[in-house]
Amino acid sequence: MMSLIHVFLFLIFGTLASLAMSRTIHETFIVDKHEQWMVDYNRKYESKLEKEKRLNIFKENLEYIESFNNGGNRSFKLSLNEFADMTQDKFIAAHTGYKMQGNPTLSESTSFMYQNVSDVPTSLDWRAQGAVTPVKFQGQCGCCWAFSAVAAIEGIVQIKTGSLISLSEQQLLDCSTDGGNRGCDGGQMVNAFEYVIRNQGLTTEESYPYQETQETCDTEKQINKVATINEYQMVPENDEEALLMVVASQPVSVAIEGHGQDFRFYSGGVFTGDCGNALSHAVTVVGYGTSEEGLNYWLVKNSWGETLGENGYIRIQRDANTPGGLCGIAMKASYPVM
Ligand SMILES: *[C@@H]1O[C@H](CO)[C@@H](O)[C@H](O)[C@H]1NC(C)=O
Ligand SMILES: *[C@@H]1O[C@H](CO)[C@@H](O)[C@H](O)[C@H]1NC(C)=O
pLDDT band at residue 87 using 50, 70 and 90 as cut-offs: confident
pLDDT band at residue 18 using 50, 70 and 90 as cut-offs: low
Q: How does strand 252-256 pair with strand 266-271?
A: unpaired
Q: Whose CA is nearest to atom 5 of ligand 2?
A: 116
Give dist(CA 285, CA 46) in Å, integer.
39
Residue 231 domain-assigned (yes or no):
yes
The whole-number pLDDT of residue 102 equals 46
Which residues, in sequence order, are CB contacts of 78 under 8 Å at separation 6+? 64, 65, 68, 69, 261, 262, 265, 266, 267
DSSP-derived secondary structure for 197-266? HHHT-B-BTTTS---SS-----TTTT-S--B--SEEEEPPTT-HHHHHHHHTTS-EEEEE---SHHHHTE
Q: Do 187 and 64 fall into the same domain?
A: no
pLDDT band at residue 84 using 50, 70 and 90 as cut-offs: very high
Q: How does strand 124-125 pair with strand 281-290?
A: antiparallel
Q: How does strand 281-290 pair with strand 252-256?
A: antiparallel
Domain range enclosing 165: 88-337
Cα 73 to middle of ligand 1, angstroms: 6
Pocket residue to mutate for ligand 2, from 115, 117, 246, most atoms within 8 A of Cβ: 115
Residue 221, burial from CB neighbour count under 10 angstroms (0-12, 13-18, 19+) = middle
Give dist(CA 192, CA 292) in Å, integer.
37
Specify the pTM: 0.89
Positive or negative: CA dihedral 91, 95, 98, 101? positive
Q: Do 153 and 235 fall into the same domain?
A: yes
Average of pLDDT values for 270-277? 94
CB 261 within 8 A of CB 312: no
Give dist(CA 89, CA 293) in Å, integer.
34
Q: Do 42 and 149 fall into the same domain?
A: no
- Percent of the chain clearing pLDDT 70 (strictly above): 90
Average pLDDT of the chain is 91
Q: Whose CA is nearest to atom 5 of ligand 1?
A: 75
Q: Is the CB of 73 under 6 A from ligand 1?
A: yes
107 pLDDT above the threshold of 90 = no
- Count CB neighbours of 96 within 10 A: 28
Q: Do 58 and 92 fall into the same domain?
A: no
Cα 201 to middle of ligand 2, angstroms: 30
Q: Is the CB of 293 under 6 A from ligand 1?
A: yes
Q: Do 70 and 92 fall into the same domain?
A: no
Q: Do 24 and 137 fall into the same domain?
A: no
CATH number of residue 243's parent domain:
3.90.70.10
CA-nearest of 253, 271, 235, 240 to 77 is 271
Cα 276 to middle of ligand 1, angstroms: 23
Q: Whose CA is nearest to atom 13 of ligand 2?
A: 113
Give dist(CA 96, CA 44) in Å, integer.
23
Positive or negative: CA dihedral 278, 283, 284, 285? negative
95 pLDDT above the threshold of 60 = yes
CB 154 within 8 A of CB 177: no
pLDDT digit string, tens, across residues 154-212: 999 999 999 999 999 999 999 999 999 999 999 999 999 999 999 999 999 999 999 99
Residue 83 domain-assigned (yes or no):
no
Provide the number of structural domains found in the chain.
2
Average of pLDDT values for 141-161? 97
